[in-house]
Structure 1
């Protein structure tokens, strides 16, 4: 039999403290999503914000649920509606009762997705950022495609189809993200520097890619109650920012939504895009480190998870008390 990893001692958080952390979390999520929800109630689509909840198939209600991550006992939470939430179990410490995330439950439901995501994130984190794609994936999705290729029919183009074709023809497409390339027009796919496949995603992802960073949000959501709420909010905020840069550098005209273009068809615009990429690498590499820490913490608190595999346990700390809405 494989040796078993001993779970770390849990940390008990008093009810007053964890309720404050929960409230801070929901306020942070609301600051990011209130406009989106109000537009949805009015039936008004948004070419930037909607993507995060349609493409990734997540909901604001799910994101608003705060979880402390594994190894944390929430005092008296068994007396609240949280007792009905998935992946929690009742426990006691020194005579004080509450709820704690059950890592076995999380891994039994999310394990395959978590394993795949962690493999991608670890590989991506190990590489330098490849600058110079200039966000041309959105251009490649329109290349020689005509009206049938327009992915945002309610959003006008800010440049002509001939210019879109000329920009792609005059550039070397360097897309490294399979989930972007699969939306390229048929004419654009052979122009990409590399042939991308789902099977090769682990080998191709790199940290300067906007979409690779946005995917961190979905990976954290997929961890369900195993993901600390602070990490969920920070990856959501990063995804919002990346999606905005993504669309501002596209051929679409977002002036009706108050967004100025990043004209990557010009040297000046490309310089601006690369500057964004440099900051994106630093930001998302930090998020990747936190994601991998959360994944290891989930395993280290799971009494049925075999030791070995080269993943050392992570020292558990109480949830951060000074976390505020991310910028």
Structure 2
């Protein structure tokens, strides 16, 4: 029989790549969505017709119990969160409830299902490099202490430790992936990488002249979301559950990203196309985030396949094509 997987947050970039990966591997894939009648869900069902969508909400334990009972999953991937870090200061309570408390709810739903059905379920929690925040060592590994610098990061720390607690208390096969920044053409336009790739595409096409950004010196360890989805799956194929840092081990600044993005459209001097707005600077910026994924490489055999330069150019090319079609009325 085919394996069955339930994915929360399935309409985000990670959920889209993970659904594609699991479908290719022969899984029956189920996706949890808070409401069926929104544009994002409708677009997802058109692009991923093989996924069965189930109504549920990370804030509603009973809806999760029903969703897990319906899907009868061998694996659950909890990708659902309010994941736009910059807005978590304005929505600290909701971010805490969904991104933190939602982990407890889905763990409880799985625990209830396992007790009532006798079926084992493997669980993946999407932890985040934002948990390191004011990083206590460079690079960051599984043993690096957490010092989160945003409500989002604090909520992720709660979910991370709750996952460990259920693993240790109930023997659940529950693993966390401490994923560093990962991007793709599926990335939401509220995130700086996609904001830049889309704006650069529109500048090339003469649809706008500038892009407004915050701290150009902010540095991150950026990888490709498709590579990171594979790491999630690999964690749940292991005999023992564990926690893994997933990262490229390289760090780049927003300036580096701009250099490559504008070079892709043949612009070598981009400063006249970039405006700075202090409102886009975080109240508490994180330190240098760069991951040490040695454990994942050794135990999972995982390696990133797409480099930073290729990733940025892929996103710009996608957005040039997308914006061209929109301008022509084809979308």
Between Structure 1 and Structure 2, which shows a larger proportion of helix residues?
1
The normalised TM-score by structure 2 is: 0.23
Which structure's relative contact order is higher, taking Cα pairs within 8 Å and 6+ residues apart?
A: 1
The normalised TM-score by structure 1 is: 0.23
Between Structure 1 and Structure 2, which shows a larger proportion of strand residues?
2
